[in-house]
Amino acid sequence: MIVTRRLGLVVAFAIACLAASSRPASALAITLDAGNKGVSVINITDNGAGDLDSDIGQLLYTGNVAGFLVNLTFSTSNSPAFPGPATLTLTQMNISSSTGGVLGLRVSDDDYAISSSGGVAGFTGQVGGVLTGGGSISVSQNVNLANTQFSTAGPTISNGTFGPGAFSSEKSLDFAYVTGTPFAMTQDVLLNLNAGSIATFNITSIVHAPEPASLALFGSGLVGLAAVARRRMRKRES
């Protein structure tokens, strides 16, 4: 009995170690582009140079980017085996500029997949924060069904451009999706800060099974299109 139990524990431990060792490393990455011209660019990857956190799927960074002081509390990514929702979260970004200027910020990860019925998935993008001083912040979020990081092709939520003061936005859309198809998510931020300005914000991207109401609306739309097609066919036949 004791031997059997010990053997069982050893086997379970071996399986757990094998599963952990076979799990792919996160591809979570951030680019910081001073001037937003692709010239002065800093790339930070999960467990790569610049990442101050050793956990897979979490990224922590503090540093200077051509006059901008960047303090990233956490960026986290959940690339689950379905059926759970897929999330990409910039927990808190604090950026200040002593001289003013433009900074492009992009966060991305790939190999997401969810379970969804009816050939449809929901995409929700949230952003909130405060801009102190002068300038503006523009935010958009993207799903790339070719599973390409940092791509802007595919379903996109444009959260808008925000001026000084507190700001927030939550937008959603549905898109055609086949269960299990891998995809990438990207968050794009363009900051144009005046000298002495500070921007503090967070961004969350979630891909999930659509809400029942949305799925029903999508289905009714397909039924409507089918009805129109049938009418046209009958007119042609007559």
Query: So where are the chain's domains?
Result: 27-229
Q: If we measure between CA atoms, which residue out of 86, 92, 58 comes closest to residue 206?
A: 86
CB 51 within 8 A of CB 25: no
Phi, psi of 80 (to 5 degrees): -85, 155
Average confidence (pLDDT) over 216-223 = 40
CA distance 39 to 34: 8
In this structure, of 112-116, 153-157, 198-202, 216-220, the range with the lowest mean pLDDT score is 216-220
Where are the alpha helices (H) located in the chain, listed in sequence order?
2-22, 212-237
Is residue 32 within 8 Å of 103, Cβ to Cβ? yes
137 and 161 Cβ atoms separated by less than 8 Å: yes
Question: What pLDDT band is residue 220 in, cutting at 50, 70 and 90?
Answer: very low
Comparing CA positions, the residue from 112, 235, 115, 129 lying closest to residue 191 is 129
Q: Quick check: 183 pLDDT over 50?
A: yes
